[in-house]
Every structure is written in structure tokens, then in C-alpha cells.
Structure 1
Amino acid sequence: MPSEPSPAPRASGFAYAIAAYLSWGLFPIYWKQLAQVPPLVVIAHRVVWSFLFVAGLLTFARRWPEVKRALSQRKTLVALLVSTALISSNWFLFIWAVNTGHVLEASLGYYINPLLNVVLARVVLGERLRPLQLVAVGLAALGVLYLTVGLGVLPWVSLLLALTFGFYGLVRKMAPVEPLTGLAVETGFAAPVGVLFLLLVPMAQQGQLFAGTVRESLLLVGSGVATALPLLWFALGAKRLRYSTLGFIQYLAPTGQLALAVLVYGESFTSRHAVTFALIWTAVLLYAADSVRGSRLGGTPVPVTKPRRTQSA
């Protein structure tokens, strides 16, 4: 395995990752339209319609044999069970945060997440950072710490969002399965639970497909595409990029969420938020500049990733 992904996959990895994180940055707009629907009901619809959408893609591409192979391999099966639990928890918490006026806390969680990615990349994947990249990580960490201290309380929503998505990304990067196949298995695991919830739990009656307004019903059905496509793009990007690099691209999502929280939904933006924003984006620019410089020098100064059979080249 080469120490750095080759230029073509790396370029497509950037494109996929940017598309995923821009989509997630605008997600509050979508979920705010379903504020009258209980979060658990929304999650149930998300997993059901996501599975149907992904199943359609698999059928069109004739890739169901890949799903069968993934289910027959114990290591892959366990990894995808874990990733299903992580992403389902993350979905629920994010929707709850958006629809209860905690978009800023959600955005803080996704500001913390890239720092967690860097730690996981170093500890688990063996990735190393150059000196300027370490400075960038330090600046970003300082910004997050400054904002966290300013809140005056433990930001549990932010921390849980960061932890669930950080470990989800790590599991998906290491799992020996193609992104579409993995997503099909994940949504396939969760879909039966969603169907049973909608059919059997009284609270779900408010959010079933034909019990609400036509607009809400269409949004619930559309949540499958809105959920599956960014996840697929994310998985494709994760397979092609260093995990630490992926973490810094992730700042696009919380920045979009922060902008929506302040400019659209009227949540307060203090001087502490401004300082945090400045520190984090300075870090992003430093990291990006050093990555470009390293690429021009051939990407050889520092070995990046220990060879693993479970990672894509």
C-alpha cells in the first residue's frame, strides 16, 4: 500500500467529502420542516426510506451479491452492526438538537469531531502530522476549548454527536466493504426496527406516512435520499483520503450549521463564537496550505498510514 493515496482517488475523495459536508451543513433546513414530528418517528422514516433508496441503487447496479458476501463475513458483519448503532444514535441526537433549538450545540459537536478524527487517525490508523499541521490542530483545539468553557456547562449534546460520528467514520473507513454495500447493510439492519416502531408504537401515529400533512409525508419519504446520498459520499471520501484530512474538511458542516443558527434561526452569536470561528478557520487554512505544499513535494516527508488489509489504497 502506498503511504499516500494516488492523485486521482485523492481528488475524487475531496469532491465526495466536500459534497457530503456541505449537504450536512444545510441539513437543519430540512429537519426544521419536520419540527412537529417526534424525532423517533423521523428516525424511523429515515432508516426505512433510506434502505428502499439504497436497495434501488443496488438493484440497478446488480450488486446484491456484494451484500450477501458482506453478511457472510463475521468481521464485516460485526463492524456494520457497530456502525449502524453509532449512526442511528447520531441521527436521533442531531434531529432532536435541531428541533429543540440547539443548532449551535450541534454545530459545536461537529467542530469537536475533526479533532477527535485526528486523535483516532494517530492512535488507531498510525497517521502522522507534519509540524504545521500540528499547529493547526492546536489552534482548532484552542478554539473549541474557548467556546466550551464559555458555555459554562458540559456540552453533552456536542460531545455525544462528536463521539458517535467520529467512531462511525473510523469503523466505516476500516471495514472491508464498499461504501454502497456497507450503507445497504446498515440501513437494512435498522429498517425492520423502523417499520415495527411505526406500526406498533402509539407515539408514531402522529408521524406515519399518511397521518400527517401531505407536505410532511413527502418530506419523510424524501428523507431517505437526503440521508443516503451524503452518507454514501462520505464513505467514498473516507476510503480515498487520510482520516485526519477528512476531519478538517468536516469543518464545512458545522460552519454551515452555525451560519443557519445565527442568520436564519436567530440563535445568539457572541464574541466568544467569533473568536472560536477565527481560530478554527485559521487552523483549516494552515492545514490546507501544508497539505498542498506536501503534495507538491511529492507527499513523502512523513509516512501516513500503517498498512492494513481493511483499508482501501
Structure 2
Amino acid sequence: MVSTKRRTTGRISGENVVIEVAWMYYQEGLNQKEIADRLEISRATVVNYLQEARERGHIRITLHARAFTTHRAAVELCKRFGLTAAYVIPDEGADAETGFYRVAHGAAQWLPELLESGDRLGVAWGRTIYELTQAAEETRIDDLTVLQLVGSMATPYGFTAEACSTRLAQRLGARCFNLHAPAILSSAALAEALRAEPIIHNQLARLETCNKFLFSVGTCLPDSHVVGSGLATLEELEWYVAQGATGVLCGRFIDAGGQAIAGPLEDRMIGIPLDRLVGLDQGILVTPGTDKVAASLAAIRGGYVTHLVTSLSVADALLAAD
């Protein structure tokens, strides 16, 4: 004799039962027990179907941006620093790693709302930006271009500049233009010659057409990614710190006021000049940790930031430090 449970679920194919469970849970508001009773399956099976629906991309869960952009700290950040908007994510009780992922995922949710058809989005690199690209839902923004702003690097990290720009373009259904040159050369003469090559010259010229800029600012600590990626040696980092370096933006050092610091690396770098990133339609800064408070303040003071995504603890630290 065939059981009732087998007969009930057998009428629905494997793919359809996943969608059916997802619909009942998210659209009809049934809880897991109610779904299990209706389909005559176990609650554990319902949980598995919901997880499968998420993994297949059938479910897109978003929180309205207003919940974060109208937060007390978000309003105060805009008022204090003259920002267009801020997106502040609660992190009470969260450890540093959990806070990092919350901010990266929050930025991934907000970013599509900030972009429009015809935008040319310049993308920096780093762990924060890469995690954002991993968390971004697949969508499509017509006539969107993503531009890699910093050259390639031989790095032990998975979050290279080209990985960040390529992955984000895939997620947003955008055209992607990578920069096919090293981020740093061994000599200024070699860098100058490479910039003069027609293909690289045209790629660099294209970077300067970006109207929006997505980035996270790096620190000047000894374990900074600017050293780990090979862009600067520890001795070069120490030299820049002695000159007042407070943060790293697209591989270039800035002081506490956000001004670029001229130094031995500048003429050897391949990437967009910092002065081309001031005064854009949007400068979207993602700051996931309190270790980046001083560097973020420098970027804000330098005029690179119009939109900020961060956690409540970082927001309060920014307001207290200014």
C-alpha cells in the first residue's frame, strides 16, 4: 500500500516542490510546520527545500534601503560630512568578522539602487569589494559599464583588481573593461613607456570617463594589503607614513586631508590618477571595520565620497573622531 505522504508529494516534481514550498513560505506567510502538514512532509524536508530554493536563486531577500538610510547615525553622517546618503547597518553584539560580512552584503543590496542606465562605474579592489561582488544578486542594468581602475598585481589574495571588476560586471549584467597592465612597474621609465603603448593609453583614457566610483579605503598598517599585494614594500610604506600617509585609495597614498602624497611609487603605477576621482556623480565608500576610521575620514575630507556604507559601530567612531 502506498502511503498518503508519498502519494501527495509524488504529484509535484522535484523542481516544482521547491518552488511550491518557497511560495507558501514567502508569499503566503505559512510557517514551516504548516507547510509540512499541508504537503505531508517533514519540517526538515521543508527546511531543505527552502535552502535549495535560495541556492538555485529562486529567492531574493532584501530589506528596504530606507531602514538603513534613515537610521539616526546615517542622518548624522550626512549632516556632519555633507554626504548625499549613508547606509548604516546594525552590528551590536557582532564580532569583527560578522560585522565585515554584514557591511559587504548591505553594500551589495544597496548598490543596484544607486546605478542607472548609461553609468560608467569605476571599481577599486580589495577584500571588501570582492566580498560585495560575491554577495550581489544577479540583476541587469541596461548600458552599464564596469571599469577596473587599478592594474593587475601578483598577489596571494583571491581578490585581485580584475577579479573584483569582472565578478561585479557579471552580477550586474554589465560590460567590463579590465586594465591589462601591472599595477606597479620596477621603474618610472618602464611605466612611462607602457602608458604610451596605444592599447594601454586607450584603456587609461577610458578610465577617466567613469562617473561613479565604488571603493573601500586601505590602512597604512604593516599588515595592509598594499604591502601583502606587492604594491609597496614595508620600507616604502614606512616612508609614506613618515610623510603623513593615513590611507590607501586605489593603491595610492593619501594624507589625513585626503590629498595624494607624491612619492617614489607614483611614477611607477598604472591606474587612474586620484584627482580624476574627485567630484564624480557618486563616490561609494564601503567601510566595514573600525580599523579604517582614520583612512575613511581622509577619503571623505578629500572629496572622494558622496555615499557611505558602514556599520553602526564604525559610524559612531567616525562621528566621534571627526
TM-score, length basis structure 2: 0.24
Q: Which has the higher helix share?
A: 1
Point out the structure with max Rg over C-alpha: 2
Tell which has more relative contact order, 1 or 2 (C-alpha 8 A, sep 6+): 1
